[in-house]
Amino acid sequence: MKHNFYAGPAVLDRTVMDEAANAVQSFQDMGLSILEISHRSKQFVAVMEEAEALIRELLHVTDDYAVLFLTGGASSQFFMAPMNVLSSDQTAGYVDTGTWSAKAIKEAKLFGKVNVLASSKEDNYKHIPEVTVPSGLRYLHLTSNNTIFGTQFHKWPETDAPLVVDMSSDIFSRDIGDINQYGIIYAGAQKNLGPAGTTLVIVRKDLLGQVDRELPTMLDYRTHIAKGSSFNTPPVFPIYVCMLSLRWLKENGGIKVIETRNESKAKVLYDEIDRNSLFQGMAREQDRSLMNVNFSVTDPNHEESFLKYAAEHDAVGLKGHRSVGGLRASIYNALKPESVHHLVQLMKDFEAQNA
């Protein structure tokens, strides 16, 4: 098999793939594929309940919060979050740390007042800006990790407002601290949680039902809370695979263990980038992402040849996002340390051949 450095959809553990493939053939003792069972069968209801329980356990989510499996990706939460909690006369704070923040800001402006407190756009989003947060905000919105530019908040800005955080690309990779600081956490599944096709939303219930607008039924978080994410047919298989992936995470020690492993993986790779004369990092050092390692070649001629060399040696998904170019190694939870070591060795060998 390959060493998969894609930014998302991304690598999941092989045991998850194996069990998922088996379930497509035949699920539990039902004599049916998981693709053809009712979402209201007791077997699938048990999957949903286990997935929710694992999320609550891993992230210490209390009963004040609902845990929802929706669809439409983080891109849908860009509008659903403000639509559900921001009235037209209220102000939300946003920090612009890249493409995804900018998209979230655009959607929020349809619903209320948006105060963009800081932006690193002029630096092409290579750092996380300092932020002084005013009081009186309905919420403070952050993109915790920027997959495109390889930056990550390592500490939230000080604020008295509830945090609304897009954690699509680093949820379950590290301790998120006290749940009570959050109003809403949302994440597309297709990085650390599971395959593409479902979106995790964790929302503090007492924030809901206060906005000055009527919501379509499907866009009201309360609809999905009332029906346990099964108001309509949920994406059965993607949720099942998320559950398997959460189970894998728990069985391998949970958040603290994976966080240490992720720090170690990132250190090994950044150390090589800093050491190797043919490569250089992109993001400001203290803001470097532990999930998406963006780097570039010092000699532009080497970009295509290194990608080719890596692909020939089973390392795939290393091309940078089309909007920034360069190289990017996404090293999510399920990427094994061996894959990072493999990449580092390829960089060393490439240097020996080309320096």
Which residue from 78, 149, 156, 295 is in contact with a copy of itself, where contact means CB under 8 A? 78
98 binding a copy of itself? (CB under 8 A): no
At 209, give phi and psi (nearest 5°): 75, 20
Q: Total residues at the site for a copy of itself (CB under 8 A)? A: 64
Residues 6+ apart with CB under 8 A from 242: 51, 69, 189, 193, 194, 195, 198, 200
**CA atoms of 112 and 10, how far apart (whole Å):** 34
Which residue from 57, 64, 88, 110 is in contact with a copy of itself, where contact means CB under 8 A? 110
Cβ–Cβ under 8 Å, residues 318 and 329? yes
Q: Considering the complex, state which of residue 245 and residue 296 has its C-beta at the smaller distance from a copy of itself.
A: 245
Q: Minimal distance in Å, beta carbon 122 to a copy of itself?
A: 24
Tell me the DSSP string of 298-338: SSTTHHHHHHHHHHHTTEE--BPPTTT-SEEEE--TTS-HH
Which residue from 135, 233, 286, 301 is in contact with a copy of itself, where contact means CB under 8 A? 233
Q: Minimal distance in Å, beta carbon 332 to a copy of itself?
A: 10
**CA atoms of 333 and 10, how far apart (whole Å):** 10
Which residue from 102, 118, 208, 231 is in contact with a copy of itself, where contact means CB under 8 A? 231
212 binding a copy of itself? (CB under 8 A): no
**CA atoms of 51 and 67, how far apart (whole Å):** 10
Cβ–Cβ under 8 Å, residues 160 and 135? yes
307 binding a copy of itself? (CB under 8 A): no
106 binding a copy of itself? (CB under 8 A): yes
247 binding a copy of itself? (CB under 8 A): no
Which residue from 61, 81, 236, 291 is in contact with a copy of itself, where contact means CB under 8 A? 236
Stretch that binds a copy of itself, among 51-59, 84-92, 237-245, 258-266 (CB under 8 A): 237-245
Which one of the listed residues 96, 166, 220, 287 is annotated catalytic? 166
Residue 100 annotated in active site: yes
Q: Considering the complex, state which of residue 90 and residue 330 has its C-beta at the smaller distance from a copy of itself.
A: 330
Tell me the DSSP string of 223-245: HHHHTTT-SS---HHHHHHHHHH
Provide the residue type at 53 as one letter.
A
Positions marked catalytic: 100, 166, 191
